[in-house]
Amino acid sequence: MRNYRLDVQPIAGSMGAEIFGVDLAEDLGDETFEDIHQTILTHGAIFFRDQDITPAQQMTFAKRWGEVHLHPHMPCLEGHPGIIEIVKKEDDTVAFGGNWHTDQMFTDTPARYTMLYAKQVPQAVGDTMYANLYQAYDALSDGMKDMIAGLRTINQYDKKKKRPAAMTPTEMDVPAPEVEHPLVRVHPETGQKALYISYAGITRRIAGMTEEESRPILDYLLNHAIRPEFTCRFRWQVGSLALWDNRRALHFPINDYNGHRRVMHRITIVGERTN
């Protein structure tokens, strides 16, 4: 791994690393960017502290990673298409994306990376957890690996869990399309196998099975994937920026900050079609 130019400090044994000595407000040279790229391939999620960047500078960094995704159901920050401003107000009790999931799994080309930048956060609460889906797959028994090899899942966006402001009641009544993905996904850059699954509100069932038949298998695999030894936990500060690889990691925002306001700027990068 060519990260000798970077100060990389792992945050847990399973995955995740903080990178120090990089100012994302500046243009990154190709060698520095490649070192960062190799670091996320190794650690699955990377974190930068004390960044002071504008939406335009965040977008410039995001575009180094690929095509920016435009969410079909969420409005963007005014003047900055592709940046979603996620605000949890003091009187909100539900957190955005408050389940274990991988982003945009309800699309044909689910997100490659997600970038989240902290604009306003309460102290000591609101951490985000991540789970290493490589390790989760590797730890399965040979019998379970044989059983799930070749299985595909049916995934669908749940429009009614929390109606996005941009959606009309008529749009709400139209069912979201169902999308198939492999239950075991081969990472297109590393060649490693990973479980590929989200919570029940997205990953509905196994193709060719009913939801009732599928649920015990999917629940087991999801609960297995989020075992403590496969996870890391990141504590946010104003100016923190996280970037994670949705092709090999689940994430879960902890909703333990009711009564506090939090503002985050999120960008997702379009991924590849799964095999």
Instruction: List 46's β-bridge partners, or say none.
Output: 17, 243
- Other CB atoms within a 10 A radius of the CB of residue 162 amount to 11
Residue written as token pair 């009309």: 168
Cα–Cα distance measured from residue 10 to residue 240, given in angstroms and rounded to the nearest whole number? 16
Name the residues annotated as catalytic: 101, 103, 251, 266
Do the beta carbons of residue 213 and residue 96 sit within 8 Å? no
The strand order across the sheet containing 203-206 reads 179-182, 152-155, 203-206
Cα–Cα distance measured from residue 254 to residue 98, given in angstroms and rounded to the nearest whole number? 7
What are the backbone angles phi and psi of residue 224, rounded to the nearest 5°?
-65, -45
Cα–Cα distance measured from residue 102 to residue 273, given in angstroms and rounded to the nearest whole number? 15
Do the beta carbons of residue 99 and residue 201 sit within 8 Å? yes
Cα–Cα distance measured from residue 139 to residue 137, given in angstroms and rounded to the nearest whole number? 5
Pairing type for strands 262-269 and 84-88 reads: antiparallel
Cα–Cα distance measured from residue 103 to residue 106, given in angstroms and rounded to the nearest whole number? 8
Closest CA to 272 of 82, 140, 108: 108
